[in-house]
Amino acid sequence: MCPMKLLKVTAASATVFALALTATACGSDDGGDSGNGGGKKITVGIKYDQPGIGLKEPDGSFSGFDVDVATYVAKQLGYDAKNIEFKETPSADRENALKRGDVDFIVASYSINDERKKQVDFAGPYLLAHQDLLVRADEKGISEGTDLNGKKLCSVTGSTSAQNVKKEIAPKANLQEVGTYSECVDGLASGAVDALTTDDSILAGYSAQEQYKGKFKLVGLKLSNENYGIGVKKGDTEMVDKINKALEKMVSDKSWDKAVQENFGDSYKNEPAPKIGDIVK
């Protein structure tokens, strides 16, 4: 009888152990859960190579205005900074990243436009930038009013800046589209391209980097209005509403002003904080 008793106890113990494993597995899910903290993770898409906007530092930390905005918003949704996972989302992959569910939302110099709104929903805007040109400091051939057709320009694949050049600004320009703005900066420094074109906020961040101080200058154009929004999976109106409330609070408690000053400094003449839903055409 003893062996039988041992068998029964062992079987019962195995059942309890299996149930414990199941409960542990269910409780260890660290995937994002919209607006629900509780120690769970939230994944936010940002840029890794835009100084002042979204930059992955050599020590693995992240800095930039978008990073500060994302961190503030995530906190309002119930997530501590330690529970935020930042994921690199290049311009050309932002819509797909949301569709695949790779990220919960995207804060990555993501300009709101009608074409993108067909694929994703946007909260915001939270910053109004303008497309401009970054040129070498000794450049004299490009200034306000210069015809850019025939010039060697560089921008990022999938960016609104690249689309603006091809459709409106200079359809006959020699436009080089690359994966990151860092590649454009390298091309500008080497003389391979005449100008880097994108949002003035991004250009200001690059020109302010220690290794580039005095080497580049912004032309000072306002070639377009870029309303930065926070991208959310299409149809997730609840998330959009929560993020909009967080952004409104960020402006009202002056955290927005602090983030602008800390990331852009006095050299960037930013526009006032936009009102939620106020898209400047």
Q: How much is the pLDDT for 278?
A: 97
Nearest CA-CA partner of 100 in 82, 86, 117, 119: 119
State how far the Cα of 196 lies from the Cα of 202, in Å rounded to an integer: 11
Q: How much is the pLDDT for 3?
A: 44
- Dihedral (C-alpha) 234, 238, 242, 245: value to the nearest 10 degrees? 90
CATH of domain 130-218: 3.40.190.10
pLDDT < 50: residue spans in the chain: 1-37
Q: How much is the pLDDT for 45?
A: 98
Q: Give the Cα-Cα-Cα angle 248, 51, 232 (nearest 5 degrees).
A: 40
State how far the Cα of 34 lies from the Cα of 44, in Å rounded to an integer: 12
State how far the Cα of 98 lies from the Cα of 72, in Å rounded to an integer: 20
CATH of domain 42-128+227-264: 3.40.190.10
The domain limits of the chain are 42-128+227-264, 130-218
Structure tokens at 63: 């800095």
Do the domains 130-218 and 42-128+227-264 match in fold? yes
State how far the Cα of 144 lies from the Cα of 154, in Å rounded to an integer: 18
Q: How much is the pLDDT for 196?
A: 97
